[in-house]
Amino acid sequence: MQGGAVLALLVVAVAAVSAQGGEGYGHHHLEEYVDYRAHPRYHYDYHVHDPHTHDFKNQWEHRDGKETKGHYSLLQPDGRKRIVEYRAGKHGADYRIKYEGHSEHGGIGSFGIGY
């Protein structure tokens, strides 16, 4: 008799779980309308400043229609800061890269032998 009670409880539990997530049991599906012809516009930025791992970087980007502008910088393993400014549009992309500081560790990107 005890086995029949366990089986009955198992059937009730499965039926309760099925009723929670199944179609037609109170589950509502919301459709989202996306207008792919809408004028694209966004802006974002982020910053990372972690002295423990020496991870220093930031980026921002802004888009308005077909024009996208952005900037990012990071501290490279050799100690120099790389700064990239970019602009992209219907005629292509343009990147301007510059470096600040001097290579301190002889790592990748330096002119010295770092091995």
Task: Name the residue with higher pLDDT: 105 or 38.
Answer: 38
Residues 7-18: pLDDT tens digits? 444 444 444 444
Q: What is the pLDDT of residue 107?
A: 54
pLDDT average, residue stretch 83-92: 96
**What is the C-alpha separation between 58 and 72, in angstroms, rounded?**
6
Residues 33-79: pLDDT tens digits? 888 889 999 999 999 999 999 899 999 999 999 999 999 999 998 98
Task: Give the pLDDT band of residue 26 (cuts 50, 70, 90).
Answer: low
